[in-house]
Amino acid sequence: NATIFFSVFNPGYQDGAKYAMHVALTSGWFDAYEWVVRINPDVMVFDESRLTLAMAGLFGPSPGRYEGVFASCRRNKPCYGRGCEHGLIQTDVLAVRPDVVPRDAFACWNSSVPRSDPECGFARSGAESHAEEQATRAFRPIVQRRADAWLNLNHTSGSLCRINTGGLRHLDTHKRPSDRLLCAKACPVWKAADPWQRFVELSQHLARKRAAKKAAESSGGPGTDGAVRRARSAGAAHRAAKKAARKLARN
């Protein structure tokens, strides 16, 4: 099941990211959940295993119970394990246990408040002009409790606060459509004009490709000509998709 909330109020690029978290926390939308994953619409999930393993406490140099799973912006030093207080938390994608996050953690979302404001004047002064800076403060208690896991242990994210590691990619899909990025010429021509429906078609296509490859690998040995051909075809499509993704991710 999915519940979708829309709002006509848009406070802007940075403030909007903070305001959405503020509304969700203060409205209690997260109360019934053990984990909440915040992900931007231009982030594609190629492989969720690192994220889900961390949420289960099975990832990183010191496995155990985590309260937050983050990625650090590359402009700060890399985070290699728990208690990474110098990390600047990306907001492209993050996961937290909502029961450990105060409801007012993002109360200072509005960067246009007067500098003299006793509660949030520091945000107006530029201390938290970006969503990443406010997220870092909001989730600092998690880091101080050493309950933090970091996705980009090898520090492979780009120079900005853009996720590009752990099976997660910020794609700028308005510039590089996800169907071309993932499949290039290996994918069929999409018929749907609606972007969401195109994504559904893409997901179904990739699922069929994975199923065909799995069936080919389990249906017989090298003497099974049909299985070999199917495996080669699925493998070629998979390699083409990875090659296209690497090429466009470098641009």
Q: Which residues of 113-150 are buried (b: 16+ CB within 10 A; e: fewer)?
A: eeeeeeebeebbeeebebbbbbbbbbbeebbeeebbbb
The residue ranking higher by pLDDT, 222 or 87, is 87
**Neighbour count for residue 65 (Cβ, 10 Å):** 9
pLDDT of the residue at 29: 94
Q: Tell me the residue ranges of DSSP E strands in the chain.
A: 36-39, 43-45, 68-70, 93-96, 148-150, 164-165, 168-170
Low-confidence winner among 25-39, 104-118, 136-150, 175-189 (lowest mean pLDDT): 175-189
CB 172 within 8 A of CB 95: no
CB 25 within 8 A of CB 98: yes
pLDDT of the residue at 191: 53
pLDDT per residue over 58-89, tens digit each?
887 777 899 999 998 876 678 888 999 998 89
DSSP structure string for 188-202: PPP---SHHHHHHHH
- Say if residue 27's pLDDT is above 90: yes
d(CA 60, CA 178): 29
Tell me if the pTM is above 0.85.
no
- Span 102-122, average pLDDT: 74
The residue ranking higher by pLDDT, 206 or 250, is 206
pLDDT of the residue at 232: 57
- Say if residue 101's pLDDT is above 90: yes
d(CA 38, CA 71): 12
Q: Is 106 exposed, middle or buried (0-12, 13-18, 19+ CB in 10 A)?
A: buried
- By C-alpha distance, which of 75, 210, 208 is closest to 152? 75
pLDDT per residue over 186-205, tens digit each?
444 445 555 556 666 666 77
pLDDT of the residue at 249: 56
pLDDT of the residue at 211: 83
- Say if residue 126's pLDDT is above 70: no
Max mean pLDDT range (19-28, 75-84, 118-127, 208-217): 19-28
CB 188 within 8 A of CB 205: yes
- Tokens at 152, concatenated: 């980009």
